[in-house]
Each structure stands twice: as structure tokens, then as C-alpha cells.
Amino acid sequence: MTVRSPRAIADSIGAARLLPVLRLARADAAAALARELADAGLNALELTTTTLGWEEMLRDLRAELPLVILGMGTVTSADDAERAVAAGADFLVSPHAAPEVRRVASTADVLFVEGAFSPGEVGAAAAHGPAKLFPASIGGPAYLRSLLAIIPQASIIPTGGVSVEEVPAYLAAGAFAVGVGSDLLAPGAGERAHALLERIGSQ
């Protein structure tokens, strides 16, 4: 496995612009969707610790999809962070501030995308790298635009309740990348993701 620096991983997520969040109960379903989205041209994916058997799933996908950036989301403890890093996660994501996860990520030299919502939280998270705005649907693109007006240097990834159709609006508002979850979990996800990539790529 090629080891990529946190900066390189962050740059790749920003270049991808779309970050699917595969929050599924079963590992086989999440792995199948990861393969489908990778085949559709998605080169950055976020799995989650809410999936039963996520550690083995991540390890298997890491070996199967060596060129795809694989992150582990919903990481809120040092133990899960250490297990995710050991299984090959390129980056870690939390839904809220998680100092213990940041310590593990820093020691392992792995990118950590910390969850935040208020201006203070977003500013604190963004001081270390990309920040996850969660749940983004509460304020929508207008709230993201307001945050960037006062924290213009922040790289923000809005996630939570974001539909495929809303992705261009978030990007236009200044999103670093956009996390999409449930709207990409239905059958035909690969086709919808590919169409979206073509759409945002032309903007």
C-alpha cells in the first residue's frame, strides 16, 4: 500500500469534490457499494464504524482498491481510531470534536476531518485541516457561505442530509468537497454518482 501524506489525501478529497458516505448496516452491502462507486469513477469514499464488521471490511477493500482513498467515519474514540489506522484508513472522520481521535491521527500521520457546526467549532477544526460541517442540512449552502465569510481560509466539507441535487449549490457556496450519504445508497448509485461527477466537472 502506498502511504500518502495527510496533505496529499486532503488535496485528493478536494479534487474529488464528492465524498460518498457509505453508512450501511451490513459490511457486504457497504463493500459492494464501494466497488460500484469506485467503478463509476469515485476515488474517495468514507466508510463508517456503524457498519457491523467494519474493520475487516476496510482491510479487504484497502487490498482490493489500492488506488481509492478510503476513510473511516463516525470515529469518536482512540480505540476505533487506532483500529481504523491499522486496517488501512487514509483518513478519519468524526461527527463532533474528538481530541482523542486527533491525537491518534497526529501520531500516525493520518488526516483527521473533525466534525463541527458552530463558527467557533468550525474555526477550531479547520485550523488543523479540512473540517466536516455537520449536520449541513440545518443551514444549507447559505450557512456555509456565511461561515466562509468569517473563516475564509477554512476547507469545509458539508455532510449530513445533503442530497445529490444539492451538491452543485454547496460547491458554488465554497465547499471544499461535499459529503453525500443516504441519497447515494439506493439502487443505481453508481449511475447517479457518475452523472453528478460529469455535471460538477463541467462547472
CA distance 60 to 177: 26
- 167 and 18 in contact (C-beta within 8 Å)? yes
114 part of a folded domain: yes
124 part of a folded domain: yes
1 part of a folded domain: no
For residue 65, give the 3-state DSSP assignment: coil
CA distance 152 to 12: 20
Tell how far CA 146 is from the center of its chain. Answer: 22
| pLDDT value at residue 197 | 81
Domain count, the chain: 1
- 183 and 162 in contact (C-beta within 8 Å)? yes
Q: What are phi and psi of 40, to 5 degrees?
A: -80, -5
| pLDDT value at residue 119 | 97
Residues 6+ apart with CB under 8 A from 86: none
Low-confidence ranges of the chain (pLDDT < 70): 1-3, 202-203
| pLDDT value at residue 145 | 98
Q: For the whole prediction, is pTM greater than 0.85?
A: yes
Indicate which residues carry an active-site annotation.
46, 132
Residue 173 belongs to what H/E stretch?
none
CATH number at residue 94: 3.20.20.70
Cα separations (Å) of 68 from 133, 146, 153? 23, 32, 27
In the chain, the amino acid numbered 26 is R
| pLDDT value at residue 3 | 62
- Which domain, by its residues, includes 122? 6-201
44 part of a folded domain: yes
